[in-house]
Chain A
Amino acid sequence: MTAFDPLQLFASLVGSAAWPALRLILHLAFFLAACVILWRAWTQLRPVDAPPSGGIAPLLALLTVFLAVLLYQASWQLTGLFRPQFVAFMQSHDRREFNPAHRIARGRILDRRGRVLALSREVDGQVYRVYPFGAAFAHTVGYSDPRFGAIGAEAAGNAQLNGATPRTLASWGELGRQLLTKDQRPRGQDLTLTLDSELQLLALQRLGDRAGAAVLMRTRDGALLALATNPAFDPNHLAPDLFRSPAPGTPLLNRATQGLYPPGSAFKVVMAAAAIEAGFTGTLNCPAQGYTTSRQYPPIRDHEFYSARTAGRAWSGAGALDLPTAFAQSSNVFFAQLGVRYGHEAFARTGERFQFDRQVRFYPGTDRYGSLSTGRLPRLAATDRYGLAQASIGQGRVLASPLHLATIAAAVANRGLAMRPRLLAQDPPASLGQYMSASTAARLAGMMRKVVTEGTGRGINGADLAIAGKTGTAENPSGAAHSWFIGFAPAADPTLAVAVLVEHGGFGASVAAPIARDLLVKALELGVGP
């Protein structure tokens, strides 16, 4: 053994507690030495460079170009936080553990009352995202996960949550401090949603184990107070299995925004609007034997016929119905005739006006949870009158999503003007389109009120709240009928619109309507804001 081994000494020095500080000093000394060399080289060369013929222009050009490159480099290296895609890339693909992108304490996501829906928690130097409400906000708050990426509000507000949208001088100062001190824990800004956690939880509780969706939105600005869908998944415990196969119950699907269901009688709101716009005033005969376009096809009948038959009674038919009565009683025979009477073209125009067959974004970005699939109207052959009759009562090949029907109900309450649904409180209200004229909307609103006072929705008529709406019981090939209710309240001066769907729930009046009522009552009790 040698008495003195400098390498051994060095290794023990590295192992000692002083090394981190020493390393820092060496690091700075290295920079200092490099700067001294540069300075000396520069001062030595200055006397010579006096007038190199034509030398100043190329040098200036070089200086400019390299300065530009360095500035551009700084926009990645120093302020890369301002590039959401870049941060997302680093979070999911960069394996450097010391990369600050992994330790960004993302801002919290809050509901409209400031309740925390998502927060970052650091455990052993790793930052985890925690979702206190678990599955309740899985499809709205979404998730941000190093393995599975980001979706929902987590994706939409990525830049802000990462701290890349400093608005105040203080947050700019904070960014500068992080840069200078090489802080490994950058802090992001909070993001507020329009949702109300109490209403969301109530909606989910009322849905219970049943698959379905419930939407509650403000009529005047489209703010979503509840956007509930069941079943869901727990964003705190994401596993690859969730994404791999079509899991039972499709928990990844946001039924409220992307679930397409036959709307059944709820679609009569659309047909009634079209009829009022077309100036329909008379009556249509609605006999007990129903209506069909050809003997080949089974007649379309009213629900009274079936309930009478079940009870063993005879039913004499509804007789001549005018539009409001037919609407309140939800007469299939009436609306099937109405649709066929106006024809295929008018039906297609109505669908166009109500913006079916579209994807509407309700927050900026590209992730699928921010996209509303409005619905689907069939492209019927001009000879297919029976298809048209079916479509006119919301059956056959007509499909709609709960959120779109809520938007339609809100439009009726908002003088025909449909507002774009909003999830992020910071997004300004925007209109989607004028679904009907203001006078049509007023008449239709009265008809919808009549549904609750004397029609199919009598069950939810109470003294505490005047609700207007439309029930729906949509037959479907996969089992019992889907239960629908869409509507708004208070009827005289509507501020809230609602849509509830319970898959295979049965009658709209008995299953979906009470849920809708509970949501509206609770919301007005809590106060819904502007």
Chain B
Amino acid sequence: MSAPLNGSRAGFAASWERRHGERELLLSCIGCMALGFVLILGADAADGRHLAATDLLPLVLYALCLVAVHLTLVLTGFRGDQVLTATVAGLAGFGLLAQVRMGGFQGDSGALTPWLVPAGLCVMTAGALIFANGRYRVLARGLWLWAALSLLLVVALLVTGQRFRGAVYALGFTTPTEALKITVVLGLATYLERHGQALARWHAGLPPWRALWPLLAFWAVLTGLLALQRDLGMVMILGVALLAVLVSATGRIGYLVYGLLAAVGLGSLLLMFFAHGQRRIDTWLDPFQDPTGEGWQILQGLSGMYAGGLWGEGFGIGSPEYTPIAAADFIYSVIGEELGFLGCVVVVLFFLVLFQRGIALAGQARSPFGRLLAGGLTAVLAVQTLLNIGGVTKSIPLTGTTLPFISHGGASLLTAFGAIALLLAISDGEPGRADKPPRATRSRATVGVPSPGQPRKVRRKVVPPAPNLPGD
């Protein structure tokens, strides 16, 4: 696959040297999370719980995983982004700490939990390597696959799922529709790479219907199905991703305008038909109307954050168990309670660095498909984060979305890591262009992306990856 495995010591050394920034950041992450871990264990011990060696398992797993991720990326000579891996590792560390703290690793459903973050990191690394070196463009061939897969996912969940707390869940309380966040964006990027130019040709202030109607039809069906599941959060996430990708592909702000108009219309329509949504709006506007009923969760979350104040109670000291389902949707309020407002600021900054990275990577992607895909995935993650944090802080109505990388929840966690895998793959650059800087202004000091001074010979062997279809 790459030079170092073929025995090139020089290649390994170069790769080791190139990824020193990532190494440093990952080691800092391990150190930081170890500090947090000691705090939690200390609080446990202070409560009189006997500590066992197995209590260290999550931290050890996390550290080992980061080391493994780094070594794999170095060994394979991966040229992709380094800040992205480090930021995600940091966020995942926060998630791990919060889950350990919430006692997610004890009790009945806890068996799988300590493996979720490691599994996510594995998915991320594997995905990044599989689709690296421009191979992600294979994905652009599956327009019908993505469209069909997306609809199939929703329909399957609708047919087989059970209702719980107003939403629909599949077997074992998983939410396979989380995968939509990737499949739909893939489909969008594919469609717009092909039809982007046609869609950019507006007439008299109106978009070109001929090019737009398949997209609209697909969207109508998808939104309808999601609305049936009352998954308004997903509708919003995908809607914003659609607009972001559309505008980015066509350069037409008009899509944004019409999109917002449609969103307002659709939103009020949905609210008319779904008492559930109207209730959430009412609770959002005045949670004190029914403080012990509808408003209980949000008010308990806010109470915890108020108790945390500026600095926080300290990891492991708070009582987030008073907030219902805190480990899932309300994990942000747990962070607010135990790490205070400053802890929340740190988490938000981690997310902002991540999004900035995603946006920058989209800008650097060579192919339109890569650009749209990176932009779409970043938009998905950003909107999901905003819906969660905004909901928990009562800035916007609750939509029941999870906080990427941090919330408890297998499907959502793996999807987020999957999205990062694709971003990393795109950041690896195109084959055959390794020695040409993607941008003329690139400086040598850059750590984030491959340095132009270090050409990678082997890459050239794989020059035309596009025709390498799996079936060939």
Contacts and interface: CB of A to CB of B under 8 A. Distances in A.
Interface in B435-468: 439, 441-443, 445-449
B83 interface: yes
B359 A47 contact: no
Contact of A38 (B314, B349, B359, B362): B349
B302 A45 contact: no
A45 B342 contact: no
A69 B244 contact: no
A70 B310 contact: no
A472 to B, nearest CB: 43
B382 interface: yes
Contacts of A100: 306-307, 309
B341 interface: yes
Given A53-B363, A94-B307, A100-B307, A41 B87 contact: yes
A11 B394 contact: no
User: Which of B311, B312, B313 counts the most chain A CB atoms within 10 A?
Assistant: B311
Interface stretch (B39-47, B109-117, B189-197): B39-47
Contacts of B291: 89, 93
A90 B41 contact: no
Interface string A1-32: 00000010011001100010001101101110
A14 B341 contact: no
Contact of B306 (A35, A54, A93, A101): A101
Contacts of A168: none
B310 A11 contact: no
B39 A30 contact: yes
B306 A80 contact: yes
Contacts of B442: 48
A37 B386 CA distance: 22
Nearest to B382: A62
A66 B344 CA distance: 11
Contacts of B86: 37, 41
15 contacts: A37-B25, A41-B90, A42-B353, A45-B83, A48-B442, A55-B363, A59-B356, A76-B302, A77-B305, A85-B288, A86-B306, A90-B307, A96-B322, A98-B317, A101-B306
A441 B20 CA distance: 93
Contacts of A243: none
B394 A76 contact: yes
A430 interface: no
Given A38-B346, A77-B309, A30 B32 contact: yes
Interface string A335-373: 000000000000000000000000000000000000000
A94 B345 CA distance: 24
A76 B28 CA distance: 32
Contacts of A40: 21, 24-25, 28
B309 A52 contact: no
A100 B339 CA distance: 16
Nearest to B318: A96
Given A54-B363, A78-B310, A93-B292, A70 B348 contact: yes
A36 interface: yes
A64 to B, nearest CB: 11
Contacts of A50: 439, 441
A463 interface: no
B320 to A, nearest CB: 9
Contacts of B314: 23-24, 27
A96 B303 contact: yes
Given A73-B344, A90-B303, A66 B386 contact: yes
Contact of B359 (A55, A65, A69, A78): A55
A14 B46 contact: yes
B364 interface: yes
A325 B337 CA distance: 74
A52 B393 contact: no
Contact of B344 (A37, A44, A54, A70): A70
A313 interface: no
A381 interface: no
A63 B352 contact: yes
Contact of B319 (A24, A37, A86, A95): A95
A257 B32 CA distance: 62
A37 B35 contact: no
**Which range contains the number of A residues in contact with the other chain?**
35 or more
Nearest to A24: B314
A47 B309 contact: no
Contact of A76 (B25, B322, B362, B393): B393
Contacts of B90: 34, 37, 41
A280 interface: no
Contacts of A26: 35, 38-39, 42
A74 interface: yes
A11 B351 CA distance: 35
A59 B303 contact: no
Interface in B169-224: none
Contacts of B439: 50-51
Contact of B288 (A72, A89, A98): A89
Contacts of B304: 96
User: Which of A48, A59, A62, A98 counts the most chain B CB atoms within 10 A?
Assistant: A48
Contact of A37 (B28, B310, B351): B28
B308 interface: yes
A15 B47 CA distance: 10
B396 to A, nearest CB: 8
A520 B314 CA distance: 60
Given A33-B31, A37-B28, A98-B313, A45 B356 contact: yes
Given A53-B363, A59-B355, A70-B344, A94 B300 contact: yes
Contacts of B302: 76-77, 80, 86
Interface in B380-394: 382, 386, 389-390, 393-394
A73 B341 CA distance: 8
Interface in A76-124: 76-78, 80, 85-86, 89-90, 93-101
Contacts of B355: 59, 62
B54 to A, nearest CB: 11
A284 B107 CA distance: 90
Contacts of B312: 27
A29 B87 CA distance: 19
A91 to B, nearest CB: 10
B341 A77 contact: yes
Contact of A96 (B319, B341, B357, B395): B319
B45 to A, nearest CB: 4
B51 A30 contact: no
A58 interface: yes
B42 A19 contact: yes
Interface in B15-33: 21, 24-25, 28-29, 31-32
Interface string B364-400: 1000000000000000001000100110011100000
A49 B355 CA distance: 12
B451 to A, nearest CB: 11
A69 B305 CA distance: 14
A167 interface: no
